Homo-oligomer: A and B are copies of this chain.
Amino acid sequence: MDFAHAPSVSLRPPVRKEYLRLRPPELRDQRGDIERIIGALRRRGYAGEIIAPHAAARSAGLVARAAYKLTVTVVGDHGAWHIIRLEEGDTTGCLYGAAVDVGTTTVVVTLVDLNTGKAVDAASSYNQQIIRCDDVASRISYASDPQRAQELRELVVDGTVNRLLRLLTHRHGLAGDDVAHMTVAGNTVMTHLFCGLSPTGLGAVPFAPISNFPGPYRAGLLNVAINAQAFVDIFPSAAAYVGGDATADMYVCGLARRDELNVLIDIGTNAEIVVGNRDRLIACAAPAGPAFEGHGLSCGMRAAAGAIESFRLGGLSDPPRYTVIGGDKPAGVCGSGLIDFVAQAFAVGVISSAGRFTDRARARCPRIRKLRRNEAEIPAYEIAPAEQTDDGLAPILITERDIATLLQAKGVIYAALQMAMKHFGKGFADIHRFYLAGGFAKHIDPDNAVTMGLLPDIDRGKFTFLGNGSLGGAFLALIDEDVRRELPHLAAAPAVIELNLDPEFMDAYTLAMFLPNGDPSLFPTVKPAK
């Protein structure tokens, strides 16, 4: 998580612990246990409503057992203080939170020590919903049946987030109850499924969510394996396809606080784009599909151990050079490797502007092979022969169909960027900084991304890598209550444009499916292979 561009935050978590030594009751002082606790919190400066939920009231019996020395966990929410836990003795040293990025494909949980504000550990895995369907569109369709919606909810909450939470708490000798707050950033569909809200309205025009600002929620209601009384803050969305992950990114790059025109793009299964400055923000969503996350391709995989993350070709007939995450034999190619491949293959003339293997390559490049599939022969580029791969059985190949899928994905994103800039009334040259967020963004080689026509042809120094801004935003909201309070305003700030309503979008998209673009004047620094 990189917070170089984030507004400065303080260690001021919405959840706190207070060790209280209460005056025991006597005949002249028949206040209730709860009133004693509230009185002690008042003396510590807690103003406004102080609410003891049922669970705290029920466990108030321990106040006497604890000889009136106890630790109270308190969460501030909307001007009120909620008592969420009572513990015997002084446990103030043990206070944790969990920041969660719920991606369509990948879920990451960070365990945060709220006494120090430091991320103690993190764990990630595929979003287990993926065993049912890959992309958000198919999940919306799957969830049109309420029982299946419930199944998806259980897959992400219990099957993914709770497993990661248990792994982390177990690893650090903590109980689930020791995790006293949670923040969750994800796109609008993920948020709906996570909270048990029907995503059906998100599946078709006019893309109507149940809520862009869901909550407030308690962990028990959502079945999240932390303290049942703890608050779970769901990051608010700007629209159906500009979700809570984009809100988190916006916070982390400070987009809405700067005078200069900046651009933010979160490349997930749907790319979310926000363009603007402190005065005005334009947002849109580009349905790129999961290609850059490694899904739907012959050789794609997520950016994990075994993934080819960078790729280089010296010339048409040279053997490729690549690096593998973890350094072992490759098992597949992740997003950044795919971008590198397309850009390098185009630059040396292996593939044409239309994404086809060139005649020259078919004749002279030893890595172009013919695969026999369904009685037809299809050409493919062999990135690694079988004997060099992780399983030693199958080669890592990229077919023309894979390339076409990647060109579609990058075409949607580039055309969407063009539309957002047009609506803002500025050109790419006016961009001060171009923020790249998303799990795999940090692996991208900007030169190759420009060569491929995914990113605009601007000064490469303007590209700034945010890392996982969604997770970063969730982390910041966990440690600073001011961040948490700002989020609804931030989510409401962008004017969201709908690409389907813009007749120029389809033209721009059609051109953007070429390498680097059907309008080469947009990419003056990119020269096709001679």
Taking A27-B500, A78-B49 as contacts, is the C-beta distance between A57 and B206 under 8 angstroms?
Answer: no
**A58 CB-CB contact with B under 8 Å:** yes
Contacts of A64 in B (CB 8 A): 201, 208
**A212 CB-CB contact with B under 8 Å:** yes
**A25 CB-CB contact with B under 8 Å:** yes
* From B29, B30, B209, contact of A33 by CB (8 A): B209
Q: A25-B201, A25-B206, A30-B496 are in contact. List 9 more A-B contacts (CB 8 A).
A: A27-B205, A30-B209, A31-B212, A34-B214, A54-B195, A54-B217, A57-B197, A60-B197, A64-B208
| A residues contacting the other copy or chain, number (CB 8 A) | 49
Is A195 within 8 A of B27, CB to CB?
no
Q: Mark A278-319, 1 if CB is under 8 A from B, else 0.
A: 000000000000000000000000000000000000000000
Closest to A146 in B: B61
Is A211 within 8 A of B78, CB to CB?
no
Q: How far is the CA of A35 from the CA of B28 in the complex (A)?
A: 50
**A32 CB-CB contact with B under 8 Å:** yes
Is A54 within 8 A of B239, CB to CB?
no
**A52 CB-CB contact with B under 8 Å:** yes
Q: Mark A201-231, 1 if CB is under 8 A from B, else 0.
A: 1000111111111101100010000000000
Number of this chain's copies in the complex: 2
6 pairs, CB–CB < 8 Å, chain A vs chain B: A24-B206, A28-B498, A32-B212, A58-B196, A60-B198, A61-B201
Give chain B nearest CB distance to A223 CB in angstroms: 11
Contacts of A371 in B (CB 8 A): none
**A431 CB-CB contact with B under 8 Å:** no
**A455 CB-CB contact with B under 8 Å:** no
Contacts of A221 in B (CB 8 A): 54
Is A207 within 8 A of B30, CB to CB?
yes
Indicate the member of A64, A200, A210, A498 with the most B CB atoms within 10 Å: A210
Closest to A498 in B: B27
Is A210 within 8 A of B30, CB to CB?
no
Q: How far is the CA of A130 from the CA of B212 in the complex (A)?
A: 50
**A363 CB-CB contact with B under 8 Å:** no
Contacts of A213 in B (CB 8 A): 32, 34-35
**A51 CB-CB contact with B under 8 Å:** yes
**A377 CB-CB contact with B under 8 Å:** no
Is B239 within 8 A of A30, CB to CB?
yes
Q: Mark A493-517, 1 if CB is under 8 A from B, else 0.
A: 0001010110000000000000000
Contacts of A32 in B (CB 8 A): 208-213
Taking A32-B208, A33-B210, A213-B34 as contacts, is the C-beta distance between A196 and B26 under 8 angstroms?
Answer: no
Is A61 within 8 A of B210, CB to CB?
yes
Q: How far is the CA of A30 from the CA of B201 in the complex (A)?
A: 10
**A398 CB-CB contact with B under 8 Å:** no
Is A33 within 8 A of B195, CB to CB?
no
Q: How far is the CA of A196 from the CA of B54 in the complex (A)?
A: 9
Q: How far is the CA of A434 from the CA of B76 in the complex (A)?
A: 45
Contacts of A66 in B (CB 8 A): none
Is A30 within 8 A of B206, CB to CB?
yes
**A415 CB-CB contact with B under 8 Å:** no
Contacts of A33 in B (CB 8 A): 201, 208-211
**A240 CB-CB contact with B under 8 Å:** yes
Which residues of chain A from 207 to 266 have any CB-CB distance to chain B below 8 Å in the complex? 207-214, 216-217, 221, 239-240
Give chain B nearest CB distance to A412 CB in angstroms: 17
Indicate the member of A30, A205, A212, A240 with the most B CB atoms within 10 Å: A30
Is B195 within 8 A of A57, CB to CB?
yes
Give chain B nearest CB distance to A500 CB in angstroms: 7
Q: How far is the CA of A196 from the CA of B198 in the complex (A)?
A: 34
Contacts of A61 in B (CB 8 A): 198, 200-201, 210
**A1 CB-CB contact with B under 8 Å:** no
Which residues of chain A from 1 to 44 have any CB-CB distance to chain B below 8 Å in the complex? 24-35
Q: How far is the CA of A216 from the CA of B197 in the complex (A)?
A: 26
